[in-house]
Amino acid sequence: MVFNSQLPLLRVRNLCKQYGPSCSACARLTGPEQGSNICPECGSVVACFDVSFELLPGEVLGIVGESGSGKSTIIRCLNLDESPTAGEAFLSEVEGGKVNLFALSSQRKRLIQSSLLGVVYQSPHLGLNLNFSAGANVAERLLIQNNTPEYRPIRKRTSLLLNKVQVPVKRMDEPIKIFSGGMQQRIQLAKALAPRPTLLLLDEPTSGLDVSVQARVLDLIASLQRETGVSMLVVSHDLGVIRLLTHRTLVMKMGRVVEQGLTDQILEDPQHPYTQELVASVL
Amino acid sequence: MKEETKRLHNNCLLSVENLEKTFCLHLLKRIKVEAVQSLSFQLRQGEFGVIVGPNGAGKSTVLKCIYRTYLPTGGAIKYRCADNTIVDLATCSEQMVLEIRKTEIAHVTQFFRCAPRVPTEEVVAYPRMAQGISQKEAVEEARELLKRFAIPEKLWRTYPATFSGGEQQKINLARAIIQKPRLLLLDEPTASLDARAVERFLAVLESIRKKGTTCLGIFHDLEMIYPFTTQLIDVQGAKR
C-alpha cells in the first residue's frame, strides 16, 4: 500500500496566536467552555490555541467555524504573513520537513511563500494589487521566482494561467479594479497557482460572491485540485463548501479545535455540541 | 498498511466485534439514542451478508460504522486489506480510512448524493481516477457501466441531479462498482429500481461476486436477494 510511504506534506504542532500582552492565565480562561477568546486577566485575544494537524500530499483539509474562531489566523500564520506566539510548522519540501518554518529568517520565509505556497483570500484586495493589471498580478509571482526573467515566457505562462481560471486572456492588460468580484477571485487563484505551489491556502474563497458565481469558482477549484493534485487547506463557514471540496475537517470555536474527523463523519455524525449546532443550523 | 495488526481468522475478511453505536443529541437535552448494541458477526471473502431487522433497528448504522461515516462508540471492526494487514476501522486514523475507501471498500448509500454540476460519466469515472487511472480510461470504463445499467447515451454528459430517483440509484451503484471494491456495502440499492433494472443490477452483482467481491447489504425485498445470501445478520437479535 502506498499509504505507509506517504509522509505528511505539512505538520502543524501546537500553533498559538495571541494578540495583546498575554499572561499565564490566557489559556485557562479562554476557549469554548469559557465562552470567550478574550482573556479576562490581561485582555489579550487568543485567536488560536494549541492547534495541531497533518496534511498529506494531495489531501484537502477544511477548517470550519464561526466568525472569530481563529480560522483565518491559521491561514495567515501558515502563509508566513504573521508570526505565531508559539508552535511549529514543517513542510516536507523544506529541508525534508525537519525545520520549523516559523523560526526561519524572513528572507527564507519570503522564498518559501513565493515558491511553495499559494493563497486566496476572501477579499481580492488582500491578495491582489488593485493598481496592477490582471496579467501583472499573476506575472509578479513568476518574476519573484525567476532569477533571470524573460518577458515572453512569463507572458505566455500568465496567459495560460488566466485561461485555466477562465479569465479572457484578451483582458489581461486591464486593471484589476474593473473586473467583477468572481473574476477577481479567479485571478487570485491564477496568481496563487502561478509558481506551482505544493500547498494552496484558501481563506473563504467564495464568501462574498453570489451563488452562481460561487458555484463556478468552487467547480474551478475542485477541478484544478483533481487535475494538479495540490494539497489544500480550505477555510470556510459554509458547510456546503466544506462538503464539496474537502476530505477531512477541523471544527473550530473560540480559537480551539473542538472536533476533527472525516468530512462526511463531521456532517453526518457530529460529536461536539457546537458541531451538532452548526450542522443543525444548515438551511 | 502497517498501522495496526490484529488477529483475524485466516479466511475472514471482516469481523465486527461487539459493535456499539450510541448517538448523543446535545441539542435535545443530551438524549442518548442507542442505535446498535453489542453486534458481532464475521464475513469471509466472497460471502454475501444481508442485514435484517425492522425500521429503525440500526441496519444502516452498521454499514455507516463500517464505512466510518459514523464513529462507533464501542467494539471493533477488523478488516483484512488486500496486502493481508488487519485494520480496525472503528479506531484507525482518518487518512487510513480514506485510503481504504479509495481502494478497498465502496458504499452504495440509501440516498444518492454527488458533487453538483459534474457530468454523469465523470461522477462514475471519478473513483477510478482517484485510484490513479487516466481520465480517458476511467471515462471509458464508466461508459461501459452506464451502458450495462441502460442509462441512455444522451444523458451521459448531463448532471445526475436532473435524473429520476431510479436513474440516480443506478449511478450510485455504477460509481461503487467501477472501483472494483473488495467489500461492497449496499444500503437498499434496489429500493427505487423497476423490475427490469433490478434484474440488471443482480446480473452485475453476480459478475462482480464471481470476481471475489464480498457484499454486505440491506434489502427490502429479501425474497429477491435470498438466492445470493450466504448469511443473515439480525441486528434486532443483537439488541435483545
B116, A215: Cβ pair inside 8 Å? yes
- What mean pLDDT is predicted for residues B49-69? 95
A269, B71: Cβ pair inside 8 Å? yes
pLDDT of residue A283: 67
Q: How far is B14 from chain A (nearest CA, A)?
A: 19
Q: How far is A84 from chain B (nearest CA, A)?
A: 27
B69, A215: Cβ pair inside 8 Å? no
- Measured between CB atoms, which of B27, B70, B126 is closest to A280? B27
A185: three-class secondary structure by DSSP: helix
- Measured between CB atoms, which of A247, A269, A276 is closest to B27? A276
- In the block, which residue shows the cell 506534506? A9
User: Which string of DSSP letters, residue by residue, matches A61-121?
Assistant: EEEEE-TTSSHHHHHHHHTTSS--SEEEEEETTSGGGTS-GGGS-HHHHHHHHHHTEEEE-
B1, A4: Cβ pair inside 8 Å? yes
Give the long-range contacts of residues A226-231, CB within 8 A, separation 24 or more.
Answer: A226/B126, A226/B129, A228/A193, A228/A196, A229/A57, A229/A58, A230/A58, A230/A118, A230/A193, A230/A197, A230/A198, A230/A199, A230/A200, A231/A9, A231/A10, A231/A55, A231/A56, A231/A57, A231/A58, A231/A59, A231/A60, A231/A198, A231/A199, A231/A200
Lowest mean pLDDT among A55-59, B171-175, B234-238: B234-238
Q: What is the mean pLDDT of each run of 10 residues along chain A (283 residues)?
A: 69 96 92 92 94 95 93 95 96 95 95 93 90 92 77 90 91 93 91 93 88 88 89 94 95 96 97 95 79
Chain A residue closest in CA terms to B96: A3
Q: How far is B139 from chain A (nearest CA, A)?
A: 15
A5: three-class secondary structure by DSSP: helix
- Select the residue from B5, B69, B80, B126 to test the A interface by mutation, using most A Cβ atoms within 10 A: B69
Chain A residue closest in CA terms to B129: A226
**Most distant CA pair in chain A, distance:** 59
How many A-B residue pairs are in contact by the CB < 8 A criterion? 62
Asked if the C-beta of A1 comes within 8 angstroms of chain B's C-beta atoms, the answer is yes
Asked if the C-beta of A269 comes within 8 angstroms of chain B's C-beta atoms, the answer is yes
Q: How far is A107 from chain B (nearest CA, A)?
A: 34
- Cβ-Cβ contacts under 8 Å, A268 against chain B: 64, 69-70
Is the pLDDT at B240 greater than 50? The verdict is: no
Is the pLDDT at B210 greater than 80? The verdict is: yes
CA nearest neighbour of A63 among A212, A267, A203: A203
A4, B2: Cβ pair inside 8 Å? yes
- In the block, which residue shows the cell 498559538? A16
Is the pLDDT at B141 greater than 70? The verdict is: yes
Q: CA-CA distance, A3 to B154, in Å (whole number)? A: 39
Chain A residue closest in CA terms to B118: A219
CA nearest neighbour of B116 among A2, A240, A186, A149: A240
Is the pLDDT at B7 greater than 80? The verdict is: no
Asked if the C-beta of A4 comes within 8 angstroms of chain B's C-beta atoms, the answer is yes
pLDDT band at B152; cut points 50, 70, 90: very high
- Select the residue from A228, A264, A277 to test the B interface by mutation, using most B Cβ atoms within 10 A: A264
SS3 annotation, chain B: CCCCCCCCCCCEEEEEEEEEEEEEEHHHCCEEEEEEEEEEEEEECCCEEEEECCCCCCHHHHHHHHHCCCCCCEEEEEEECCCCCEEECCCCCHHHHHHHHHHCEEEECCCCCCCCCCCHHHHHHHHHHHCCCCHHHHHHHHHHHHHHCCCCHHHCCCCHHHCCHHHHHHHHHHHHHCCCCCEEEEECCCCCCCHHHHHHHHHHHHHHHHCCCEEEEECCCHHHHCCCCCEEEEHHHHHC
CA nearest neighbour of B146 among B103, B204, B231: B204
- Select the residue from A246, A251, A269 to test the B interface by mutation, using most B Cβ atoms within 10 A: A269
Span B88-130, pLDDT tens digits: 999 999 999 999 999 999 999 988 888 888 999 999 999 999 9
Chain A residue closest in CA terms to B85: A1
pLDDT of residue B239: 55
CA nearest neighbour of A198 among A33, A10, A6: A10
Q: CA-CA distance, A145 to A118, in Å (whole number)? A: 13
- Cβ-Cβ contacts under 8 Å, B117 against chain A: 215, 219
Q: Which three cell numbers stand for residue A70?
A: 481563529
A4, B98: Cβ pair inside 8 Å? no
CA nearest neighbour of A265 among B124, B197, B92: B92
Does residue A250 contact residue A53 with C-beta atoms inside 8 Å? Answer: yes
- Cβ-Cβ contacts under 8 Å, A59 against chain B: 95, 98
Chain B residue closest in CA terms to A57: B95
Q: How far is A219 from chain B (nearest CA, A)?
A: 8
* Cβ-based burial of B65 (10 A; exposed 0-12, middle 13-18, buried ≥19): buried
- Measured between CB atoms, which of B25, B69, B117 is closest to A265? B69
pLDDT of residue B237: 63
User: Tell me, what amino acid is at A43?
Assistant: G
